């Protein structure tokens, strides 16, 4: 008799899911794919949709625009650096307006930005900045792994807490899943406040497991900040057995851009902890620097109204007149980015992509490679490095604009992850980034279309199979 109750309930639930799909405003191809999954995979199709398919822009975890607490905080924070509003060149004004419209942060001058070219250089700078902290240290990481780096951080935190410095750590519930209870307890014992972002709990598993906080942020006293691709993991300094040293770029930032990163941290911290006192950390503690680097923060996530990370890459690629140099480990582009790369290359722009010959995931590796033939045919130059694993997420355009951040060129970063990127309007730093890029190219393998198109049939089969999973990778 139970089956006569379960089947009607299942049919009713399926109808509700289908109605929601139709009303969510997804792309027609995506809607059709989910409808087919629901109709052809009993129970499993609905479960897959609940985990992977829900439109968080319709059903947000956290509505940033309607929260008066957050909007008041952002208004107060922006007033702290209002006098640093940058005078943008006319050619760059549309970018500044776009990024402000989708991220609410204006381009600001008076920054000092340093590119940190590897894990050792990055953590040396981070450790030195932490030693100088007087008020607070805020850390937010997708991956926080135990090892040599975490032990050194623990010792520094212990010293700073004893000196009266407040230390807060926010880590992602999936990315830092291996972080032990013992290490967390040790941090709490010395006075560090630590929180998980979207922890994997039974009641919220289906609604949250697919949405991760991929940001890497450190803010110290509102004076110094760090962001980029590097996580807290020993693989950036000692490597791992299969891939070797992980190569990555990070930024050290001083000036009003620090306030923008602090604002992102504060919102994430409030969401994870419910602690409203974080919004009081807006005191103007940074020094007023002379006019130097102009920068702007772009943040995005499933709670955003628009695909800000995707729009960032799309607009920069489309703007290029001479070159577009991209370093990214996970290039699984949607159709918009793919078309933008093709149009740029076919128009005579020097479009180059650097990534690793190997990957930390075979499925991702073959999915990434499934786009190579089409890109190479259009004239995009692809370089594969063999010494280590390149994890940087950078783009440089025409010695004029560049970006360093956490977002990959894939569906996950565009639609599902919380990301943050720094846009830099500075010729000197763009040239420095270009030099780092060309140095990687000089030791990499450049693919040739005529050879790649004749790759083994087994490779083509792996690529085609992996590409099926591109929307969830």
Cβ neighbours, 10 Å, residue 347: 13
Q: Which residues of 188-224 are buried (b: 16+ CB within 10 A; e: fewer)?
A: eeeebbbbbbbeeeeeeeeebbbbbbbbbbbbbbbbb
For residues 91 and 433, give the distance between their C-alpha atoms in angstroms, rounded to a whole number.
20
H or E, element range at 69: helix 68-80
Instruction: Tell me the torsion sign for CA atoms 157, 158, 160, 166.
Output: positive
| Interstrand relation of 350-356 and 409-410 (parallel, antiparallel or unpaired) | unpaired
SS3 content of the chain, % helix, strand, coil (to 5): 45, 20, 30
For residues 78 and 93, give the distance between their C-alpha atoms in angstroms, rounded to a whole number.
19
CA distances from 319 to 180, 231, 324, 366, 402 (A): 46, 31, 9, 30, 12
Instruction: Tell me the torsion sign for CA atoms 414, 416, 417, 420.
Output: positive
Q: Residues 230, 373: contact at Cβ < 8 Å?
A: no
Considering only CA atoms, which of 432, 410, 429, 431 is closest in space to residue 419? 410
Q: Phi and psi of 57, rounded to 5°?
A: -75, -20
The tokens describing 411, both together, are 């569906």
For residues 253 and 19, give the distance between their C-alpha atoms in angstroms, rounded to a whole number.
47
For residues 394 and 401, give the distance between their C-alpha atoms in angstroms, rounded to a whole number.
11
Considering only CA atoms, which of 77, 55, 14, 18 is closest in space to residue 284? 77
Provide the annotated active-site residues.
214, 216, 221, 391, 393, 398
Q: Residues 103, 300: contact at Cβ < 8 Å?
A: yes
Cβ neighbours, 10 Å, residue 134: 13
Considering only CA atoms, which of 219, 233, 349, 235 is closest in space to residue 281? 219
Structural Rg of the chain based on CA atoms: 23
């Amino acid at each position: 008799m139970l089956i006569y109750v379960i089947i009607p309930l299942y049919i009713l639930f399926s109808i509700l899911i289908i109605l929601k799909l139709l009303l969510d405003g997804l792309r027609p191809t995506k809607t059709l794919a989910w409808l087919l999954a629901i109709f052809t995979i009993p129970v499993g199709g609905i479960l897959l949709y609940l985990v992977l398919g829900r439109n968080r822009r319709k059903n947000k975890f956290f509505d940033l625009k309607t929260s008066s607490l957050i909007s008041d905080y952002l208004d107060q924070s922006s007033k702290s650096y209002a006098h640093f509003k940058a005078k943008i060149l006319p050619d760059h004004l549309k970018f500044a307006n776009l990024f402000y419209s989708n991220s609410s942060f204006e381009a600001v001058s008076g920054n000092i930005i340093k590119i940190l070219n590897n894990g050792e250089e990055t953590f040396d700078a981070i450790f030195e900045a932490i030693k100088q902290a007087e008020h607070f240290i805020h850390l937010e990481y997708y991956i926080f792994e135990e090892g040599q780096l975490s032990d050194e951080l623990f010792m520094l935190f212990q010293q700073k807490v004893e000196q009266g410095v407040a230390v807060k750590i926010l880590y992602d519930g999936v990315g830092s899943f291996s972080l032990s209870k013992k290490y967390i307890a040790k941090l709490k014992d010395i006075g560090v406040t630590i929180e998980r972002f979207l922890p994997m709990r039974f009641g919220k598993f289906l609604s949250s497991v697919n949405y991760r906080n991929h940001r890497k942020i450190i803010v110290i006293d509102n004076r110094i900040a760090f962001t980029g691709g590097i996580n807290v993991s020993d693989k950036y300094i000692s490597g791992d057995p299969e891939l070797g040293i992980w190569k990555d770029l990070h930024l050290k930032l001083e000036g009003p851009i620090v306030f923008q990163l602090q604002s992102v941290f504060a919102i994430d911290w409030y969401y994870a902890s419910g602690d409203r006192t974080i919004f009081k950390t807006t005191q103007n503690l940074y020094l007023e620097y002379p006019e130097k680097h102009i920068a702007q923060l772009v943040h995005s996530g499933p709670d955003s109204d628009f695909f800000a990370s995707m729009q960032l890459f799309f607009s920069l690629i489309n703007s290029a007149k001479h070159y577009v140099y991209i370093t990214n480990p996970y290039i699984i582009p949607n159709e918009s980015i793919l078309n933008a790369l093709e149009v740029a290359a076919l128009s005579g722009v020097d479009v180059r992509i650097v990534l690793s010959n190997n990957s930390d995931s075979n499925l991702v590796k073959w999915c990434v490679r499934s786009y190579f033939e089409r890109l190479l045919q259009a004239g995009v130059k692809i370089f594969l490095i063999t010494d280590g694993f390149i994890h940087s997420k950078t783009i440089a355009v025409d010695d004029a604009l560049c970006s360093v951040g956490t977002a990959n060129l894939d569906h996950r970063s565009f639609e599902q992850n919380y990301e943050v990127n720094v846009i830099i309007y500075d010729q000197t730093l763009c040239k420095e980034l270009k030099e780092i890029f060309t140095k990687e190219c000089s030791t990499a393998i450049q693919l040739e279309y005529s050879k790649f198109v004749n790759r083994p049939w087994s490779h083509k089969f792996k690529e085609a199979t992996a590409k099926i999973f591109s929307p969830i990778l």
